[in-house]
A = this chain, B = another copy of it.
Amino acid sequence: MRSSPRVTVWNEYVNERTKPEVAKIYPKGMHEAIAQHLRSEGLAVRTATLDQPEHGLADDVLAETDVLIWLGHTAHDKVKDEIVDKVHRRILNGMGLIPLHSSHHSKIFRKLMGTSGDLKWREADERERIWVVAPGHPIVAGLPPYFEIPAEEMYGEYFDIPAPDKLVLISWFQGGEVFRSGCCFYRGRGKVFYFRPGHETYPTYYQPEVLRVIANAVHWSAPVAGPEIGHAWQAPLEQLQHETTS
């Protein structure tokens, strides 16, 4: 357990380089917008992108990462299975994961959930209002009862995930849908927080409440010094008697 978790923000970093309207909002990529905020809160943050060797997630990077933030969208299939497997093992061994928005369909999120990650969606510049349903949870520290995002992509139920270990946020959409937007999962020694907002054509990752949730989630999902896990034969801890009980 560290007082200050070491964060890696991973981004496929495709739309920001191919779509001018996205580049205008996130000139250095969505990952840099998030990284910059987390650095301003005193965290040690590095970034990694799809086009780097090993997608920027070499063994030493993963070993030095306490919490991995994941931004995938149009290039999920380009992420190599062997990297996904390494990230998966690292999470089960304690690393936190924060999959954002369209990462609901990323290989790593689907692998961790065991479900499809499917949902309903629509891009219609509509208002999203995010409600807190777990007011005692550390991820909502500093939030009001709800906050609004003026325009976002819609994600609607049924969202095909296991029921979260803790459901923290539910979204309301102008067009008539609801969505489980902030979801905590424990997996192995690791913790996962899925957070919905962040379509690339909106300045969502500059909004203070959104950044607050992400920063809180970094602290919540950071590793704790819990016991080792694994598969093993175990010697009896008690003397085995082979009589029948009376």
Residues of A within 8 A of B (CB): 1, 92, 94, 111-116, 118-122, 124-127, 129, 131-138, 140-146, 148, 150, 154, 156-160, 162-163, 165-167, 170-178, 180, 185-191, 223-246
Q: Which residues of B contact A136 (CB under 8 A)?
A: 94, 186-191, 223-224, 226
Cross-interface CB contact of A140 among B227, B233, B238, cutoff 8 Å = B227
The docked-state distance in angstroms from the alpha carbon of A116 to that of B166 is: 20
The complex is assembled from copies of this chain, and their number is 4
The docked-state distance in angstroms from the alpha carbon of A140 to that of B150 is: 33
Q: Is A171 in contact with B160, judged by CB distance below 8 angstroms?
A: no
The docked-state distance in angstroms from the alpha carbon of A137 to that of B246 is: 30
Q: Is A163 in contact with B156, judged by CB distance below 8 angstroms?
A: no
Q: How far is the CB of A153 from chain B (nearest CB, A)?
A: 11
Cross-interface CB contact of A137 among B176, B224, B241, cutoff 8 Å = B224
Q: Is B239 in contact with A245, judged by CB distance below 8 angstroms?
A: yes
Q: How far is the CB of A65 from chain B (nearest CB, A)?
A: 16
Q: Is B158 in contact with A132, judged by CB distance below 8 angstroms?
A: yes
Q: Which residues of B contact A121 (CB under 8 A)?
A: 231-234
Q: Is A122 in contact with B235, judged by CB distance below 8 angstroms?
A: yes
The 4 A-B pairs with the shortest beta carbon distances in the complex, nearest first, are A176-B237, A175-B236, A118-B231, A135-B226
18 further contact pairs, Cβ within 8 A, besides A92-B160, A115-B188, A132-B158: A94-B136, A115-B187, A118-B230, A118-B231, A125-B240, A125-B242, A129-B237, A135-B227, A135-B229, A136-B186, A137-B224, A140-B227, A144-B227, A145-B158, A162-B165, A170-B170, A172-B176, A174-B240
CB closest residue in chain B, given A118: B231
Q: Which residues of B contact A239 (CB under 8 A)?
A: 241, 243, 245-246
Q: Is A115 in contact with B127, judged by CB distance below 8 angstroms?
A: no
The docked-state distance in angstroms from the alpha carbon of A128 to that of B188 is: 25
The docked-state distance in angstroms from the alpha carbon of A94 to that of B95 is: 29
The docked-state distance in angstroms from the alpha carbon of A209 to that of B154 is: 26
Task: Choose among A140, A172, A180, A231 the residue with the greatest number of B CB atoms under 10 Å from its CB.
Answer: A172
Q: How far is the CB of A196 from chain B (nearest CB, A)?
A: 13
Q: Is A158 in contact with B227, judged by CB distance below 8 angstroms?
A: yes
Q: Which residues of B contact A122 (CB under 8 A)?
A: 233-236
Q: Which residues of B contact A112 (CB under 8 A)?
A: 114
